[in-house]
Structure 1
C-alpha cells in the first residue's frame, strides 16, 4: 500500500502520521514520540514505521513525506536549537528510501493547516472584522515561540516562515525590565529574546523572577517541583502545567501573577506581529499553552496587551484573534504539503 508520511517535529514531541494516497482525511496510523528520547528524526521515523507494520502489514511504501520542523529550514536542511539536531531532507530520503522528502518550518505547516480547520477547532477571543483574502498570521508559544504569516496570491494562500521569536524582548514596564535583567543574570547572557519570556521555559523564568524579587511566597507544592527543575535531577518535571493550573484555580497568588505577566507579554508580542503584517484575515494562536489555558486567555489580559499600541491601537481592534484548539493543525498542513509534493512528480 502506498502512503504519505507527515510529521510535526517540536522540541518536546514529534507527531507522525501515515495516510493513504488519495485518502488524506483518513488516518492509517499515527503516533506521538518524545523528541529527546531519540538521537534524531531518522530514528523516530524508523521506530514509527516499525510500529506501523503491526496494524498495516509489512508492505508500507512511502511515496512522499513532509515534516514540519521547529526551526528555520534553509536549502532543505534545518538545525533545531532546542534539540541540537541537524536535519537534511536529502539524507533522510536516502536513508529511509523515500522518493521525495520536504522540510518546512513548523509554523509554515500550521499555516497550511489553518485552511483545513473546522469551526470547532477554533476559539475566538477577539471577533474583529475579517477581510476576505487579507493576510493572516500565526504565533504560538510552546518550547519556543513560533511565528509565520500567510499572503494570498490571488488563488490561494502562500505561507511564509518567520523567526520572530528570536527578536529582542521589549520590556513595557519596570517589572518587565527587571525581568529582563533577572534573566540576563540568571542565564548568564547579554541579550534576551522574546521566546525567553513568551514560551513554556519563559513561564518558569517569570515565576523564578517573581519568587526572588517580589513579595510573593512559594507554596510547598510548587516549590518542590521548581526546585527539582532547577537541579540536574532526572526526576525533574516541567513546572509550567502546575503553575498554570494553580493560576486558573486561583489558589496560588505567585502562580496567578506569573501567568498574568506571561499572558500579557504574549498578547503584546502577538500585537507586535500584527502591526507588522496587519493580518485582517485573522491572527491564530497555536501551541498547547493557549489551548490548554483558555481561561487565562479570555479574561481580557491578552487582548488588552494585544491592542495597547499607542497611537495605532485602533488598527488592531478589527483583527480577529483565534486560539487553535487542535494540536494536530501542523500535521494537517504537513499532509497537504506531502500530497502536493507527490502530485508534482
Structure 2
C-alpha cells in the first residue's frame, strides 16, 4: 500500500482511556479505520487511517498500517478488541460488501491480529452511535422544530433511526449508552404507500418499472432520487437545459449527487429534492407510528446531510411527518423529537460502542 493512498489523522482532543478499540467504517468509496479510546468519559477517536476502498483489496493491510502508526507514537497501546462495519449484509461474523469485490471477515481478522474483531452492518454502527450523541451540540445534531414551534425533549430510551443513502436503513435502539441494544429491520423493503395524487402517480410509474410491489427504498435512496427526477421531468414537461443534460449524462451513481448540488439554484432539482423530503417525512411517520420513539427520531445518511436546508425550509419534512387521520396519533407524532445527525464520526464511534457492548 503506497503512502499516497493512505490518510493519517491524529486527534488533538484525545484523552487517556482504559481500553483501545479498533473501529471501522467500510463503504463502497472509502475505507476508514480508527483507534478509539474508551474511558470513563465515553469514546474518543485517537487516530484515523483512511484509504479509497477501490485502492485496496482487503482491510487487513490498512489495519497493519494503523497499528504501525499507533506503535510509533504510543508503543504501549494495543487494541483489546475491534468492530468493523461494512456496507452490506452480515452472515455470522462476515460482512459481504455490496459494492466491492472484497469483504470484512471478522474471524479471519481475529486470527491475523490476535484480538477479537467483530463484523457488523454499517447501519448497525450508526445505530450504536446514536446514544453517544450530544443532543445539545449543534455540530452533532440539528434539532428540527415541529409545526407549532416546539422542540420536544426526549423521553425514555426508545429511538428510531431512518437513513437514506445507497439504500434505506431503518433500525430501533433500546437502552442508553453502553446498555444500548440495536433492533435491526428491513423497513426499507416495506411496501411504499401513496398518500396524495402526486405520490400515487409516482407509485403507478414505479410499479410499471419494478413490478407490482414498490418498496420504500425505491423512492428513499440514491436510485429513488433518480426515479423522482424522471417523474418530475415528465410530469412537469421540463425542458432539458445544460444542467439537466449534465445530470442525465452522468452515471446512475453520480446523478443523485448532482441533483443535490444544483437543488439550491435549479427549479427541477429543487422540486425533486422537496418531493424526496416530503416522502421521507411520511415514510418516517409510518415507522414512528409503530415504534413510538419518544427518545427521538434520528435522520441519518449522506442525502440528508447534503440537503439539510430542504428538510428545514418551510417545515417540509415535519409537515408531512405530523400528518395522520387519527388526532391522537397526530399528537403523539408532534411530541417526538426529530434530529438530523451531523456528526460524521458517528459510524466509527458507533462501531466502537457496538464492539464494546458485545465484549
Count of residue pairs the alignment pairs up: 328
The 3 A distance-change label for structure 1 pair 136 and 55 is: closer
Q: Which runs of structure 2 are paired with 1:85-164 in the superposition (5 Å)?
A: 87-94=104-111, 96-118=112-134, 119-120=136-137, 121-126=140-145, 127-152=150-175, 156-164=179-187
Tell me what 2:25 maps to. 8
Matched, 1:270 2:270: no
Tell me what 2:307 maps to. 293
Q: Report Cα offsets for 1:255-278 as digits up to 9, x if no partner.
A: 111001111111111111111110
Pick aligned residue for 1:194 from 216, 229, 239: 216
C-alpha deviation, 1:138, in angstroms: 0.9
Tell me how far apart the structure 2 counterparts of residues 111 and 321 of structure 1 sit (CA, whole Å). 15
Tell me how far apart the structure 2 counterparts of residues 140 and 228 of structure 1 sit (CA, whole Å). 24
| 3-state SS of paired residue (2:251) | helix
Matched, 1:309 2:318: no
Please, which moves more after superposition, 277-286 or 100-109? Answer: 100-109
Pick aligned residue for 2:45 from 16, 21, 27: 27
Please, which moves more after superposition, 164-173 or 23-32? Answer: 23-32
| 3-state SS of paired residue (2:133) | coil
The 3 A distance-change label for structure 1 pair 12 and 271 is: farther
Tell me how far apart the structure 1 counterparts of residues 60 and 128 of structure 2 sit (CA, whole Å). 22
Q: Which runs of structure 2 are paired with 1:70-89 in the superposition (5 Å)?
A: 70-83=87-100, 87-89=104-106
Tell me what 1:209 maps to. 231
Q: Report Cα offsets for 1:35-73 as digits up to 9, x if no partner.
A: 45544xxx1342353266357439684431112333443
Please, which moves more after superposition, 253-262 or 103-112? Answer: 103-112
Higher relative contact order (CA 8 A, sep 6+): 1
TM-score, scaled to structure 2: 0.80
Q: Which runs of structure 2 are paired with 1:47-58 in the superposition (5 Å)?
A: 47-50=62-65, 53-54=68-69, 56-57=71-72
Tell me what 2:205 maps to. 182
Over the residues paired in the alignment, what is the CA RMSD in angstroms? 3.0
Please, which moves more after superposition, 130-139 or 44-53? Answer: 44-53
Q: Is the 8 A contact 1:246 1:255 kept in 2?
A: yes
Matched, 1:240 2:256: yes
C-alpha deviation, 1:224, in angstroms: 1.8
Q: Report Cα offsets for 1:222-259 as digits up to 9, x if no partner.
A: 322321325xxxxxx71323322322x2x321111100
Tell me how far apart the structure 2 counterparts of residues 224 and 93 of structure 1 sit (CA, whole Å). 46
Tell me what 1:234 maps to. none
